[in-house]
Amino acid sequence: MDTIESLLTRKSSPRLIEPSPSPEELDIIFQTALRAPDHAGLKPWKFIKVSGEGRSKLAKASLETLKKINPEKASENEEKILNAPFRAPLIIIVIASIKEHHIVPDIEQILSAGAAAQNILIASHSFGYSAIWRTGLISFNNEISKSFDLDNNDVVIGYLYIGTAEKQMTLPPNLNINDFVINWD
């Protein structure tokens, strides 16, 4: 699939099944992530690849974290939280690994990690897989970073669920670019 076609046809898919990318495809997918814009060459990203039984570990860490930050929500949604990682055969946790730098602010490093995540989504789609980027309460907080044994400067910015779409996805209608683009001609 060519780049423009990949960009124009990618759509989030909430229900994912096997297969997921092969190890060789995954190596390429991660290489695309490492090509994200990176001011000052800080490489402000980390990734945790979760599959197989690793999904149970993620489920337990998510529940324990949610119990700390919102016990009521954890109690009300325990089954949903424990089942969430099993909605896809592969999950890539995207982490902004923020470096102290005199020129590059934290937000720019978080945006770089977001660009790396987008590259993963596009590369996965180019190989014929589907994906969805999820966040929620177990993103952007210190408790989840601690539960993953991350450094204090690491921020979980999302979870990329990757696999094969359970059902055929229809593309949304094309949007009118004039609703979003301001011209200064």
> Domain boundaries in the chain?
3-179
Query: What contacts 24+ positions apart, CB below 8 Å, involve 49-54?
Result: 49/90, 49/91, 49/92, 50/85, 50/90, 50/91, 50/92, 50/93, 51/20, 51/89, 51/90, 51/91
pLDDT tens across 101-139, in order? 999 999 999 999 999 999 999 999 999 999 999 998 899
Using CB atoms within 10 Å of the CB of residue 79, give its burial: 0 to 12 exposed, 13 to 18 middle, 19+ buried.
Answer: exposed
| Lowest model confidence (mean pLDDT) among 16-20, 130-134, 156-160, 168-172 | 168-172
Handedness of CA 103, 106, 108, 114 (dihedral sign): positive
Give 100's Cβ-side CA count (13 Å radius).
2
SS3 41: helix
pLDDT given for residue 56 in this prediction: 97
Residues 36 and 116: beta-carbon distance below 8 Å: yes
Structural tokens at position 27: 């190596």
Q: What are phi and psi of 69, to 5 degrees?
A: -95, -25
- Global confidence as pTM: 0.96
> What's the gap between Cα 134 and its chain centre?
6
> What's the CATH fold of domain 3-179?
NADH Oxidase (3.40.109)
In this predicted structure, the answer to whether residue 1 has a pLDDT above a threshold of 90 is no
Residue, of 170 and 112, whose pLDDT is higher? 112
pLDDT tens across 148-163, in order? 999 999 999 999 999 9
- What is the arithmetic mean of pLDDT over 163-183? 93
Nearest to 90, CA basis, from 58, 118, 43: 58
pLDDT tens across 34-92, in order? 999 999 999 999 999 999 999 999 999 999 999 999 999 999 999 999 999 999 999 99
